[in-house]
Amino acid sequence: MTLNHEEKAGIMSIKDKVIEIIAEQAVLEPSDVTMESTLEDLGIDSLGLVESIFAIEEAFDITVPFNANEPEQSDFDISSVAAIIGGIEKLVSEQAA
């Protein structure tokens, strides 16, 4: 699959927006949030996680399938910032389809 320029820009902005949301929650600069960071590394606790997901849902108008009771069972991978961004990109593209 090849992406045109606009689609690439859209995906870049998803990444930047998610990082911005996570950084705000962690009270860090976006530049301090790397793709390899875990939420734990960033000091985001369980309440911080649900608040981040809320902000992401609001920003992209999507529903993130995440249940705080069983994060491992969720379809949504939160093991790293890269995984979260990947999941959001997939949800946004599914919604667009």
58 binds other proteins (CB under 8 A): yes
For residue 76, how many other CB atoms are within 10 A of its CB?
16
88 binds other proteins (CB under 8 A): no
- Residue 93: its H or E element: helix 81-96
Minimum distance, C-beta of residue 43 to other proteins, in the bound complex (Å): 12
Q: Which amino acid is present at 67?
A: N
> In the chain, what is the straight-line distance between the N-terminal and C-terminal CA atoms, in Å?
14
Tell me the C-alpha distance between 7 and 79, whole Å.
Answer: 26
Q: Which is nearer to other proteins, 36 or 94 (CB)?
A: 94
53 binds other proteins (CB under 8 A): yes
57 binds other proteins (CB under 8 A): yes
Contact set with other proteins (CB under 8 A)? 47, 50-51, 53-54, 57-58
